[in-house]
Amino acid sequence: MSFYQRIKEYFLKSIFHIYIIILIGLSVYPLGNQIPTNDKFNHLIGFCVYIVLFKLAYPKMNSLFLLISGIGLGILIEIIQSFVPYRQTEFLDVVADTVGLIIGFVLIKLWNKFLYKLV
């Protein structure tokens, strides 16, 4: 593996791990008095980006493992939110997370098939 490939691999893995920290951080951040009207859309987009970054950082990782770990992260976030007084736990958030993961997979497949071999 060349030096540049190692740097690229390290960079992509770092971005992915930072993204996980941000995702978990935002999930426990207080919302204040506002109730987000697009909460499920935020979950969908957040986990769509998550799966794309995961696949970029770990291209040889089994797709089923990626899906299961993404759903596990969504469930973990909901469990964490159940202990945070100003956040709510909702099953539909995990559903939105799962839909986001699936959309991310589809986007990766379409990208690879029609545009450029991404991963």
Cβ-Cβ contacts under 8 Å for 98 (sequence gap 6 or more): 47, 70, 71, 74
Report pTM.
Answer: 0.86
Query: Which residue from 20, 53, 54, 36 is spatially nearest to 90, judged by alpha carbons?
Result: 36
Checking if the pLDDT of 36 tops 60, the result is no
Which 8-state DSSP code applies to residue 38? T
Provide the number of structural domains found in the chain.
1
CB-CB contact of 54 with 70 (8 Å)? yes
Checking if the pLDDT of 92 tops 60, the result is yes
Read off the tokens for 78.
Answer: 């909901």
* Structural domain that includes position 28: 3-115
